[in-house]
Amino acid sequence: MTIERYCFYCGTRLQVLKRGLGKEEHVRLICPKCHAKFYSNPIPAVAALVLDGDRLLLVRRDVPPFEGSWCLPGGFVESGEDTREALSRELFEETGLRGKASSLVDVVSFVDTNPEGKGVIIIGYRVGTYKGVLKPGDDAREVRFFGLEALPPIPFSSHRALIERLRQSGTH
């Protein structure tokens, strides 16, 4: 399925512009009339690394992709939202806990398989203190702390990378 796009400056139908070769090839849309370029930029997301001693908080997904699998609480940053605000919002929506980002763990990215080929940039924050009643919400069916050395399989490579960076930092 091809999605037709039009220039929001002049209304002309956009054309595909390919640059580079192989893995280095970038696809952009360009307006043949006013020459405006439109980029398919990665989508920003956040992930919360909440520790209770040597136990890490995970959520079991209730929606695709990887429905039924465990992952870090988090999600996409809304337009106009600060990444730390997004982290606090997502943490509360998925787990019932209120917490704030205390430190940056890492920033990781990956290209997913959506039709537009957009990637995702995930900003992982350590959550220092938190309060509230742990309960699944939003798109989580279960929330639970796991020992860092006894984590279930985690399908998102970006989440595995953030957890590994947390382990390497020795801040747990």
CA triple 111-80-88, angle to 5 deg: 80
The residues assigned a catalytic role are 142
Q: Does domain 43-169 have CATH number 3.90.79.10?
A: yes
pLDDT at residue 1 in the model: 39
pLDDT at residue 19 in the model: 75
pLDDT at residue 40 in the model: 76
Q: Give the whole-angstrom CA distance, residue 58 versus residue 160.
A: 12
Residue ranges in the chain assigned as alpha helix (H): 83-95, 157-169
Which residues partner with 52 through β-bridges?
Answer: 55
Domain definitions of the chain by residue range = 1-39, 43-169
For residue 36, give Cα distances in angstroms to 8, 26, 31, 149: 9, 16, 5, 51
Q: Along the 172 residues of the chain, how does pLDDT read in single tens digits?
A: 355 689 989 999 999 888 766 666 777 889 999 999 888 788 999 999 999 999 999 999 999 889 999 999 999 999 999 999 999 999 999 999 999 999 999 999 876 544 455 689 999 999 989 999 999 998 899 999 999 999 999 999 999 999 999 999 876 5
